[in-house]
Chains A and B, each alone.
Chain A
């Protein structure tokens, strides 16, 4: 504990608090709260029952009401902490509620019914997890199907992205041809066109190709990313041309040069692009929502949307499944953060 405090309160140089220490501390702790707070709240809330989610003021931790089985009553009764009229505090079980009066009974002494104003009681609760938020969607909804679709889309899109983008980057970085910079410029220019602008024409293309309502319709339009080409090209520029010359002297074909020399040497940049691609495709919502209209083809993100009905939003399921869909992305970040920082530093993207 002492060491943690020491770590958190570490200051620059001497023993006093320099103003930069305070600014740094506020900045970092503030940043931590702003970025990590919502995630924590999401995880906490995903274990809450629907009733508790609707509660105001909200709590950070999930609670469940305590219940007790009382002699003479078939169902378990909810327990409340009650302040009686004479000021005495007792824990009672509620039988029923009529208007603002609750009929309650002492679990120890079930014979006597006590009438209590509902203002004078608070539910007896303890921290507890509504794990059915997680188990229900797995048992009664198509979560696994959505998961399979999402994994398929993410993996295929990432694989094709890596192959096509690296080929384009190879040509643009290692071959001299007329119009090379123009091609590069055109590719980069598409960065400035957001998806929402080309949504309708893209839909027409996909529809005309018969890819509407097919997972390939989700995968194919996204595989050629200008950022990927740019990132890989910049990296490949750093591979010395002498290596390619040496390979040519070694009777390597151009394909072998790409596949056996350039691609292995581009591994760090490929890793970065793979991470980005996985995250982008996994979190993709708008485009799958447009292309996929059959329920069995939904990806996770679109599938989550089905819990939000017109009249009734099942927040408890949405929150729980959001946590589940975050897991792969979080894992990717935990294990590959070394590459991610390198990638962000190298490309200025995130």
Chain B
């Protein structure tokens, strides 16, 4: 139980339109991550699902029941807030019991559930402390515990890890993943951190300016981004984009001219008029130094070398003045100002049309 369906959700705050026609179907037991740059409406969407805000138009269903106008308390959802929102004047135990007391559960049941959750989250040692006496990671656990004891239909997590330090974030991320595997409850997770999104999600929803750009599994998003925005947003460092023009049909595809003299044939099936603009995308990891056997795809001038040990991030500038980033494996011996020949496998190329959408066929 925990299927959530959004149909044509719009939300405006006065004259500001935050969400435009969101359609989304979240299956039971799924962990869905909303990502997007700040201000894209992902937190608002979560608050709409939670019932803390009401949509301007559209319908929200949980397990087939229309809950659009139902109050937050009666939706059977639990939420973990970015600031944890633990009640500062209550002990950890009281924090977890508060929601259960409001639901008029018997005392023994409340005690059982708290014991169960505190064992699961290893917070049994500080049940009688106040939130102010806990560290960030402990507070985070308590916030999750407060959600778990309610046995909710679905968990809503609003950037739950963003207040933790980097190390703790990694371990909490793993714990969240194992928690989801154990509870098998639907989870909706909002973050702006794409590593969290990639590692945790069953499916990722990429949002921009109140619209869904793409919904897919993490690897599909990485391998086949639907448009320029998703291509640039998912993956770190970000994908390189090169302006190109179609150059007539080649053998079983379309040829593209890029930079000054580059030419590549891609299996694009979408009909393009000759000379139509396009954008080619190549991930920095897919660029390598041209050797003797493979011809150079283009030349570039090195502007900065970041040697990370296991890999080397090379900042370069190509003929047109555009910046290109290459992540080379191992330790490349390069110097600033040097001109290098870079090459790529056409199979790793992404191609987008003038409207920014991925061209069909690749």
> Measuring CB to CB, which residues of chain A are less than 8 angstroms from any residue of chain B?
240, 242-243, 245-253, 256, 260-261, 264-265, 267
Instruction: State how many angstroms separate the Cβ of B334 from the closest Cβ of chain A.
Output: 48
B98 and A250 contacting across the interface, CB-CB below 8 Å: yes
Instruction: State how many angstroms separate the Cβ of A251 from the closest Cβ of chain B.
Output: 4
Chain A residues, CB < 8 A from B81: 242, 245-246
Which residue of chain B is the closest to A263 with respect to CB atoms?
B89
> Measuring CB to CB, which residues of chain B are less than 8 angstroms from any residue of chain A?
47, 50-52, 71-74, 77-79, 81-83, 85-89, 98-99, 102-103, 146, 150
B102 and A245 contacting across the interface, CB-CB below 8 Å: no
Q: For chain A, what secondary structure do more than half of its interface residues adopt (helix, strand, loop), or is it mixed?
A: helix
Chain B residues, CB < 8 A from A249: 50, 52, 72-73, 77-79, 99
A251 and B89 contacting across the interface, CB-CB below 8 Å: no
B82 and A242 contacting across the interface, CB-CB below 8 Å: yes
A252 and B73 contacting across the interface, CB-CB below 8 Å: yes
Chain B residues, CB < 8 A from A248: 51-52, 71-73
Chain A residues, CB < 8 A from B83: 240, 242
Assembly CA distance A252 to B87 (angstroms): 13
Q: A252-B73, A260-B98 are in contact. List 8 more A-B contacts (CB 8 A).
A: A247-B87, A248-B51, A250-B98, A250-B146, A252-B98, A252-B99, A252-B102, A261-B87
Assembly CA distance A204 to B164 (angstroms): 62
Chain A residues, CB < 8 A from B146: 246, 250
Chain A residues, CB < 8 A from B86: 246
Assembly CA distance A246 to B90 (angstroms): 14
Assembly CA distance A281 to B244 (angstroms): 81
Chain A residues, CB < 8 A from B102: 250-253, 256
Which residue of chain A is the closest to B96 with respect to CB atoms?
A250
Assembly CA distance A250 to B88 (angstroms): 15
Chain B residues, CB < 8 A from A252: 73, 98-99, 102
Assembly CA distance A243 to B146 (angstroms): 13
Assembly CA distance A247 to B101 (angstroms): 12
Assembly CA distance A242 to B98 (angstroms): 15
Check A251/B103 contact, CB under 8 A, given A242-B82, A246-B81. yes
Check A251/B85 contact, CB under 8 A, given A245-B52, A245-B79, A246-B79. no
Chain A residues, CB < 8 A from B74: 251
Check A242/B89 contact, CB under 8 A, given A250-B99, A252-B73. no
A240 and B73 contacting across the interface, CB-CB below 8 Å: no
Chain A residues, CB < 8 A from B79: 245-246, 249
Check A246/B73 contact, CB under 8 A, given A251-B99, A251-B103, A256-B102. no
Chain A residues, CB < 8 A from B103: 251
Instruction: State how many angstroms separate the Cβ of B132 from the closest Cβ of chain A.
Output: 12
12 A-B pairs with C-beta separation under 8 A: A242-B81, A242-B83, A246-B81, A246-B85, A249-B52, A249-B77, A250-B99, A251-B74, A252-B99, A261-B87, A264-B89, A265-B88
Assembly CA distance A243 to B77 (angstroms): 16
Assembly CA distance A239 to B78 (angstroms): 21
Assembly CA distance A246 to B86 (angstroms): 8
Residue among A242, A245, A246, A264 having the largest count of chain B Cβ atoms under 10 Å:
A246
B87 and A243 contacting across the interface, CB-CB below 8 Å: yes
Chain A residues, CB < 8 A from B85: 240, 242-243, 245-246
Chain B residues, CB < 8 A from A246: 79, 81, 85-87, 146
Assembly CA distance A261 to B77 (angstroms): 20
Assembly CA distance A250 to B99 (angstroms): 4
Residue among B83, B85, B89, B150 having the largest count of chain A Cβ atoms under 10 Å:
B85
Which residue of chain A is the closest to B81 with respect to CB atoms?
A242
Assembly CA distance A251 to B98 (angstroms): 9
Assembly CA distance A243 to B98 (angstroms): 12
Assembly CA distance A248 to B54 (angstroms): 14
Q: Please give me the 10 A-B residue pairs with the lowest Cβ-Cβ distance, nearest first.
A: A250-B99, A246-B85, A251-B102, A251-B73, A242-B85, A264-B89, A242-B81, A248-B72, A249-B79, A243-B85
Which residue of chain A is the closest to B156 with respect to CB atoms?
A249
Assembly CA distance A308 to B82 (angstroms): 65
Chain B residues, CB < 8 A from A267: 89
Chain A residues, CB < 8 A from B87: 243, 246-247, 261
Which residue of chain B is the closest to A250 with respect to CB atoms?
B99
Assembly CA distance A102 to B238 (angstroms): 113
Instruction: State how many angstroms separate the Cβ of B14 from the closest Cβ of chain A.
Output: 11
Which residue of chain A is the closest to B74 with respect to CB atoms?
A251
A265 and B78 contacting across the interface, CB-CB below 8 Å: no
Chain B residues, CB < 8 A from A261: 87
Instruction: State how many angstroms separate the Cβ of A181 from the closest Cβ of chain B.
Output: 15
Assembly CA distance A260 to B102 (angstroms): 11
